[in-house]
């Protein structure tokens, strides 16, 4: 099943998407430890289901497993108010080279706020937004990964973006 | 797209098409039809502005890349199920989303900005050392120079490091040196000396200690024992799955060595 000499091996087809799996789990679970538990479990499941994988988009397939694993986790909605993703000090802060320290600090604060706002979205809106904006999946792939009709994907995306834009405006973000 | 009308959004039922266009989901004919409508629909114009604002907010957000230690633990877990799973391509420090996503930083600038951020703190260093050890246990990764002769291993590091790590062999005591390799820890290239104890591997990482830095300690991570100490201006980290008492013996041999 997982012989590294074959081009369709688990290593070549699925493992390159480990970062995508972690990113989704991180945004869904909002907690590093819970995200790791979900990723561990999802990767083991992916390995055991891999023999039956016949799809054309392994990333959407893996993300579907991550998402289902996350939904099966009791930690999913725990700590919604207390552990927003932005409280994590290990999250990298990015600053453009051109920024002076003051601008860089401002950007850092804005970035923190944006992540808090995303983390505060209801989970079904959050996952749709993350799959589109971070994973850049097509509507069709999001529909497959979340086992949701395309129309629902579209309205969830709309709702997520609207909530985010309005909350940001209320917070005085640009 | 036929589903659109079943999910009406207050205002205009075409705002989801405005969104679909921004997401690159419309073909040319659909986009042209939408454009004709939008030109005279203030609701769709406002919707577009709001969608663009939401998108702009997220553009600079970093991707949550898998930490090295998590990656190592995932791989270890997979190997419990399927021992032959090899490692995926390592994407260290690839924090930024692809340039295609609209993030305007050049790769070099990104690397410079990120290097300063992700260098492991002391706690992370333990994870990094264990992850490095686990990676090295994969076939073909254990040593760059395979030799049981310390007089071969030591010169091999010359020109590859800006310091000369001490190299010793304890074959008589049951800890033969089997080789050395270069690794990257604590933000610098470091020497890894590889020893064997029966069927187990001990990695000893050696690099210059910061002035006045005298670390000493021991811990256990994911079933691997880690002992660290400083001596003669060098930091030493020994990592292995041998029993704790054996690793202590090994460390004692090192610390007693002239």
Alpha-carbon gap: B111 to the closest alpha carbon of chain A (Å): 11
Say if residues B175 and B202 touch (Cβ distance below 8 Å).
Answer: yes
B188-197 vs B177-185, strand pairing mode = antiparallel
Pick the range with the lowest mean pLDDT from A19-23, A64-68, A167-171, B124-128.
Answer: B124-128
pLDDT at A81 > cutoff 70: no
Mean pLDDT score across all residues of chain B = 76
Neighbours of B237 (CB within 10 A): 26
Classify burial at A18, counting beta carbons within 10 Å of its beta carbon; exposed 0-12, middle 13-18, buried 19 or more: buried
Question: Per-residue pLDDT for B96 more than 80?
Answer: no
Interface check for A11 against chain B (CB to CB < 8 A): the answer is yes
Q: What percent of chain B has pLDDT over 90?
A: 19
Q: Which of A16-20, A104-108, A158-162 has the lowest mean pLDDT?
A: A104-108
When comparing pLDDT for B5 and B101, which is higher?
B5
Question: Is residue A129 within 8 Å of A161, Cβ to Cβ?
Answer: yes
**Chain A stretch 22-41, residues whose beta carbon is closer than 8 A to a beta carbon of chain B:** 22-23, 26-27, 35-36, 39-40
Is the pLDDT at B84 greater than 60, yes or no?
Answer: yes
| Residue A126 in contact with partner chain B when CB distance is under 8 A | no
More confident residue, A97 or B215: B215
Q: Which residues of B touch A95 (CB under 8 A)?
A: 113
The pLDDT of residue A5: 41
- Residue A162 near chain B (CB below 8 Å): yes
Reported as a single tens digit per residue, the pLDDT across B23-54 is: 889 888 888 889 899 999 999 999 999 999 99
At A20-71, the pLDDT tens digits run: 999 999 999 988 899 999 999 999 999 988 888 877 788 999 999 999 999 9
* pLDDT at A171 exceeding the cut of 60: yes
Compute the C-alpha angle B90/B116/B66, nearest 5°.
30
In chain A, residues with a C-beta closer than 8 Å to the C-beta of B81 are 44, 47-48
Phi (first) and psi of residue B229, to 5 degrees = -155, 170
Choices 1.10.10.10, 2.102.10.10, 3.30.360.10, 3.60.21.10: CATH for A97-174: 1.10.10.10
- Please name the CATH architecture into which domain A1-79 falls: Orthogonal Bundle (1.10)
Overall size of chain B counted in residues: 258
Residue A115 contacts B, CB cutoff 8 Å: yes
Structure tokens at B42: 């203030």
How far apart CA A81 and CA A4 sit, in angstroms, is 43
Q: Measure CB to CB from residue A168 to each of B4, B57, B97 and give the nearest one.
A: B57
Cross-chain residue pair B84–A4, CB shorter than 8 Å? yes
Tell me, yes or no, if A59 comes closer than 8 A to chain B by beta carbon: no
Alpha-carbon radius of gyration of chain A: 17
Helix (H), strand (E), coil (C) string for chain A: CCCCCCCCCHHHHCHHHHHHHHHHHHHHHCCHHHHHHHHHHHHHHHHHHHHHCCCCCHHHHHHHHHHHHHHCCCCCCCCCCCCCHHHCCCCCCCCCCCCCHHHHHHHHHHHHHHHHHHHCCCHHHHHHHHHHHCCCCCHHHHHHHHCCCHHHHHHHHHHHHHHHHHHHHHCCCC
State the complex-level ipTM.
0.78
Confidence of residue B140 (pLDDT cuts 50, 70, 90): low
Burial class (CB in 10 A: 0-12, 13-18, 19+), B197: buried
**CB-closest option in B54, B96, B97 to A161:** B54
The Cα–Cα gap between A25 and A165 comes to: 23
Angle made by CA atoms B4, B9, B14, in degrees to the nearest 5 = 50
| CA nearest neighbour of B128 among B197, B181, B219, B67 | B67
C-alpha to C-alpha distance for B39 and A64, rounded to whole angstroms: 38
Mean pLDDT along residues B55-79: 85
Higher pLDDT, A104 or B244: B244
* pLDDT confidence of residue A153: 95
Distance CA B153, CA B218 (A): 27
If one counts every other C-beta atom within 10 angstroms of the C-beta of residue B97, the result is 20
Q: Which residues of chain B does A150 touch, with a Cβ-Cβ cutoff of 8 Å? A: 1, 3
Query: Cβ–Cβ of A94/B73 closer than 8 Å?
Result: no
Task: Decide if pLDDT at B8 tops 70.
Answer: no
CB contact A143 to B (< 8 Å): no
CA distance linking residue A146 with residue A140, whole number of Å: 10
- Strands in B145-146's sheet, in edge-to-edge order, are B145-146, B177-185, B188-197, B200-208, B234-240, B224-231, B217-221
Within 10 angstroms of residue B190's Cβ, the number of other Cβ atoms is: 22
- Of chain A, the percentage scoring pLDDT greater than 70 comes to 80
Please check whether residue B152 touches A, CB under 8 A: no
Domain coordinates of chain B in residue numbers?
2-59, 62-118, 119-256
DSSP chain B: -GGGGGS--SS-TTHHHHHHHHTT-S-HHHHHHHHHHHTT-HHHHHHHHHHHHHHHHHHTPPP-PPPHHHHHHHHHHHHHH-TTPPPPPP-TT--SPPGGGT----HHHHHHHHHHHHS--HHHHHHHHHHHHHHHTSTT-S-SEE-S-HHHHHHHHBTTBSS------BTTTTB-EEEEEEEEETTEEEEEEEEEETTEEEEEEEEEPPTT----EEEEETTEEEEEEEETTEEEEEEESS-HHHHHHHHHHHHH--
CATH of B119-256, one of 3.30.200.100, 3.40.50.10710, 3.30.2010.10, 3.40.640.10: 3.30.200.100
Question: Which of A105-109, B181-185, B204-208 is predicted with the least confidence, judged by mean pLDDT?
Answer: A105-109
Region B139-162: mean pLDDT is 78
Does the pLDDT at position A102 exceed 50? yes
State the pLDDT at residue A45.
Answer: 94
Give the residue with greater pLDDT, A123 vs A174.
A123
Q: Looking at residue B193, what is its pLDDT?
A: 93
Task: Considering only residues B171 and B218, tell me which one the structure prediction assigns the higher pLDDT.
Answer: B171
Residues 2 to 61 of B: which have CB under 8 A from any A CB? 3-4, 6-7, 9, 15-16, 19-20, 23, 25, 50-51, 53-58, 60-61
What's the gap between Cα B215 and its chain centre?
24
Give pTM, 2 decimals: 0.54
């Amino acid at each position: 099943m997982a012989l590294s000499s074959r081009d369709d091996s688990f290593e070549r087809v699925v493992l390159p998407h480990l970062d995508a799996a972690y990113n989704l789990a991180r945004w869904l679970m909002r907690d590093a430890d819970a995200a790791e538990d979900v990723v561990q479990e999802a990767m083991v499941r992916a390995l055991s289901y891999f023999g039956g994988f016949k799809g054309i988009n392994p990333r959407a397939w893996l993300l579907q497993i991550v998402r289902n694993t996350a939904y099966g986790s009791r930690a999913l909605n725990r700590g919604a108010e207390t552990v927003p993703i932005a409280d994590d000090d290990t999250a990298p802060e990015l600053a453009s080279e051109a920024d002076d320290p003051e601008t860089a600090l401002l950007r850092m604060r804005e970035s923190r706020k944006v992540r808090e706002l995303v983390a505060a979205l209801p989970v079904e809106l959050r996952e749709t937004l993350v799959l589109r904006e971070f994973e850049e999946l097509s509507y069709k792939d999001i529909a497959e990964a979340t086992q949701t009709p395309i129309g629902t994907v579209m309205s969830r995306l709309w709702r997520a973006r609207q909530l985010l834009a309005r909350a940001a405006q209320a917070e005085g973000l640009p | 797209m036929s589903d659109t009308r079943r999910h009406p959004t207050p205002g205009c039922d075409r705002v989801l098409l405005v969104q679909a266009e921004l997401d690159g989901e419309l073909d040319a004919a659909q986009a042209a039809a939408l454009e004709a409508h939008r030109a005279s629909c203030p609701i769709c114009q406002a919707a577009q502005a709001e969608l663009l604002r939401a998108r702009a907010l997220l553009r600079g957000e970093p991707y949550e890349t898998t930490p090295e230690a998590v990656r190592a633990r995932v791989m270890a877990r997979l190997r419990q199920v399927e021992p032959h799973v090899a490692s995926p391509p390592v994407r260290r420090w690839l924090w930024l989303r692809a340039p295609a996503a609209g993030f305007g930083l050049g790769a070099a600038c990104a690397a410079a900005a990120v290097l300063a951020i992700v260098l492991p703190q002391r706690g992370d260093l333990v994870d990094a050392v264990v992850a490095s050890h686990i990676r090295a246990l994969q076939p073909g990764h254990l040593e760059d120079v395979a030799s049981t002769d310390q007089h071969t291993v030591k010169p091999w590091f010359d020109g590859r490091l800006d310091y000369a790590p001490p190299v010793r062999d304890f074959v008589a005591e049951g800890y033969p040196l089997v080789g050395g390799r270069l690794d990257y820890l604590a933000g610098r290239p470091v020497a890894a000396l590889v020893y064997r104890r029966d069927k187990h591997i001990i990695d000893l990482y050696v690099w210059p200690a910061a002035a006045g830095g005298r670390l000493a300690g021991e811990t256990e991570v994911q079933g691997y024992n880690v002992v660290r100490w400083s001596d003669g201006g060098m930091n030493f980290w020994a990592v292995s799955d041998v029993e704790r008492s054996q690793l202590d013996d090994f460390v004692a041999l090192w610390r007693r060595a002239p």
